[in-house]
Amino acid sequence: MTLHAPSAPLSTDEAAVHTDAFDAMASNVESALLGKTEVVRLALVALLSQGHLLLEDVPGTGKTTLARAIASSVDGIWRRVQFTPDLLPSDVTGVTVFNQATREFEFHPGPVFANVVIADEINRASPKTQSALLEVMEEGAVTVDGVRHTVPAPFLVVATQNPVEMSGTYRLPEAQLDRFLMRLTVGYADPAAELAIIRGDRLVSPDALPSSTDAARMEQVRQAARRVYVDDAVYEYVLRVARSTRDHPALSVGLSTRATVAMAHTARTLALVSGRPYATPEDVKTLAQPVWAHRLVLSPEASVGGRTGVDVLAEILSSTPAPQPGHPGATANR
């Protein structure tokens, strides 16, 4: 049995400490976004995994509130960019301006220089502007006039799309969708939570939230996640599912190697914040839809037939055997 970890495996006691820190952060965010425990936890898992979020939902369901609450909880700043067809790349990244007083060129940073960046209705901007955001998502920096400028850490892009009104939009290409670690849907609140929101009960403004962690503490959690044990049986399960998507008749494009690596990395984080020093096949199943579904490209026949990536992925998961309890992949390092 091969141990895939850069250092000594994490102990259960160590995992519990980081789980408590994560739970405090999640509870803090939930005080501004009632009734969305699962979405909040997945969003924070993405942040700790150094990934980015794509939120697809109708207006008014709390997408911006979620991003602002995360920024407040990590003692960071947030910026919002309303993407429109006339938005230029420099409006996102920043621009170099000549200072008459100093007789020198100075860089004026754009809104991406924040801890949480809300890219509102990203599909309304031109492909060139979308690509400018793509660079900073991938590199953690922007290059303007040949000079590289690093964005602050932690750094999370929360891009939103409105699936209802699609006229005048530029569809995100598959290569760009693949750059988002997760795609989430906030959805409507349940009746009890929505009634509390209408009344204003227990609802806290995102900007009024106290910080529950900072960059240094988050880095400790990230380092701990790298020490979470992942057995070969779990890696092989991830690979089997991925290979099944590449051969499935309903899919034109299956999961890339980037997608399998993203799953392994995110499964470690989910295991840690769940209080376990080891990942299991259940972690993969929990993360399959948010991490993988948006990366799948349907065949023309499947698309016309009304199928979705979520449907096909669920079918593949149900037909792909997972390591069973008692198998090293499910019980390692307990």
Residue indicated by tokens 């992949």: 329
Strand 251-253 relative to strand 297-298: parallel, antiparallel, unpaired? Answer: antiparallel
**Sign, CA torsion 166/170/172/176:** negative
The SS3 call for residue 97 is strand
Contact 112, 152 (CB under 8 A): no
Which of the residue ranges 86-90, 98-102, 179-183, 308-312 would you say has the lowest mean pLDDT?
98-102
Name the 3-class secondary structure at 22: helix
- For residue 95, count CB atoms less than 10 angstroms from its CB and return exposed for 0-12, middle for 13-18, buried for 19 or more: middle
| Confidence band, pLDDT 50/70/90 cuts, at residue 57 | confident
- Alpha helix positions (H), 140-189: 174-177
Q: What is the pLDDT at residue 169?
A: 63
pTM of the model: 0.88
Q: What is the mean pLDDT of the chain?
A: 87
Instruction: Give the whole-angstrom CA distance, residue 27 versus residue 333.
Output: 29
Q: Which residues make Cβ contacts (< 8 Å) with residue 214, sequence separation at least 6?
A: 74, 75
119-134, pLDDT tens digit by residue?
Answer: 988 888 888 898 889 8
Residue 281 pLDDT > 50, yes or no? yes
DSSP state of 324: P
Q: Which residue has the higher pLDDT, 305 or 168?
A: 305
Report the distance separating Cα 327 and Cα 334, nearest Å: 12
Higher pLDDT, 176 or 297: 297
Q: Please check the confidence at residue 4 and state whether its pLDDT lies above 60.
A: no
- pLDDT confidence band for 326 (50 / 70 / 90): low
Contact by Cβ (8 Å): 232, 278: no
In the predicted structure, residue 161 carries a pLDDT above the cut 90: no
Give the model confidence (pLDDT) of 253-276 as tens digits.
999 999 999 999 999 999 999 999
Give the pLDDT confidence of 189-204 residue by residue, as tens digits.
888 888 888 887 767 8
- Residue 306: predicted pLDDT: 85
Condensed to tens digits (0 to 9), the pLDDT of residues 5-42 reads 446 778 889 999 999 999 999 999 988 888 889 999 99
